[in-house]
Structure 1
Amino acid sequence: MKPWNLCFALALLVLATAWGGAAAPAASPALTVYLVRHAEKELAPGLSDPPLTAAGQARAQALVGALRRAHPAVLFTTNTQRTRATLAPLATATGLAPRPYNAQQPQALADTLRRAYAGRAVVVVGHSNTLLPLLAALGAPAPVPEIPDDEYSYLFEVRVPAQGPATVRVRHYGAR
């Protein structure tokens, strides 16, 4: 082989190795957020912080089954009796202590979730008027225009990738 052919072949080998041999950076795993509204609450007039009804307690138990395979890293709840009670059976089953969050600051929670829990699953219990703003803060489209006062069965599974748009899968849990 002539010297210039050998140089040309070596150059091609070096270029092929540089282009084909470099591993692409690994994609960051997606954050998965499970959003649920608190379960059925007592509707007696005058209660500023109503407890769950018997149906609500049954739904809270059903949440454990619905999220059994999710293996959440953390549980978040607002500071109301009904949200804490909705999350209590799951907290017991996972051994995780629920952490409070301010539902009036959805962007702050969304930023914390992206930063601290990428690649993991998180459960957030909120209210009919706070879940859709949190979905928006996570960059996910609203799958429903509103959550009616008598609707407690929604379980939104939100996938938030490091790059690109978030997606929402609508599920239901407990009795409809």
Structure 2
Amino acid sequence: MANILILFTSLILSIGNPSAKMKEKLQENKVTTYYLIRHAEKDRTQAGNRDPLLNEQGQKRAQKWAEVMKDVDFDAIYSTNYKRTIETAKPLAKLKELEVLNYDPRNLYNEDFKKATSGKTVLVVGHSNTTPHFANAILGEKRYQDIDDKENGALFIVQVQPDGSATCQVLYIN
């Protein structure tokens, strides 16, 4: 009788606490949504600075991105390891109480990244060339060209269905 009681208790506890494999399977069956943006306006006053901060307008845009996306339930926020991209991500990360994670722009949408973000809603902050290339990598086709250097308000929303099919829409935020 005691063995049956222990078995029953274990069964009940395991139902309430799904295993890591079960959690992974549940994530695989969900839509994955990527919000891809370019960093906000950078400080161009220091010629030759390869890692500038945002200028005043860029800081305002970073705050605006946080306002625009405040109702999105993000699971993760990624940025390249540059001051301007991290500064763009920070207001939203602070609002959502998330850490800004780094990704390598030379190795977009690799298997590790796919696995880590499967079934989640993710913001990725990049650059005029990496943002459209990231969207293309997810879509599996070359649909988008580099963003004009003066454009900082493009938002690519890419959704990947559980069957692997993907769609993208591009919005422009002033």
Partners of 1:140 and 1:169 lie apart in 2 by: 15
- Greater shift in the superposed pair: 139-148 or 160-169: 139-148
Gaps of 5+ in 1: 1-25
Provide the residue aligned with 2:152 in structure 1: 152
Structure 2 match to 1:105 = 107
TM-superposed CA distance for 1:83, in Å, is 0.2
Match of 1:70 in 2: 72
- Over residues 37-72 of structure 1, what are the superposed CA-to-partner deviations in whole Å (9 max), with x where a residue is unaligned? 000001121212111011100100011122112111
Letter of the structure 2 residue corresponding to residue 149 of structure 1: D
Q: Is the counterpart of residue 167 in structure 1 residue 162 in structure 2?
A: no
Aligned-partner SS, 2:109: helix
The alignment covers a number of residue pairs equal to 147
| Offset from partner CA, 1:9-33 (integer Å, 9 cap, x none) | xxxxxxxxxxxxxxxxx99221000
Take 2:69 and 2:143, find their aligned partners in 1: how far apart are those partners? 20
Find out whether 1:37 has 2:45 as its counterpart. Answer: no
Amino acid at match of 1:104: R
Cα RMSD (Å): 1.8
Give TM-score scaled by structure 1 length: 0.77
Q: Deviation of residue 116 (structure 1)? A: 2.4
The CA deviation at 1:171 is: 1.4
The answer to whether the 8 A contact 2:136-2:143 is kept is no
- Give the SS at the match of 1:57: helix
Q: Which runs of 5+ in 2 are unaligned?
A: 1-25
Alignment map for 1:47-86 (pairs within 5 Å): 47-86=49-88
Q: CA deviation at 1:141?
A: 5.1
Which of the numbers 87, 90, 102 marks the counterpart of 1:88?
Answer: 90
Deviation of 1:107 after TM superposition, in Å, equals 3.2
Offset of 1:140 from its aligned partner?
5.4
Q: Identity, % of aligned pairs?
A: 33
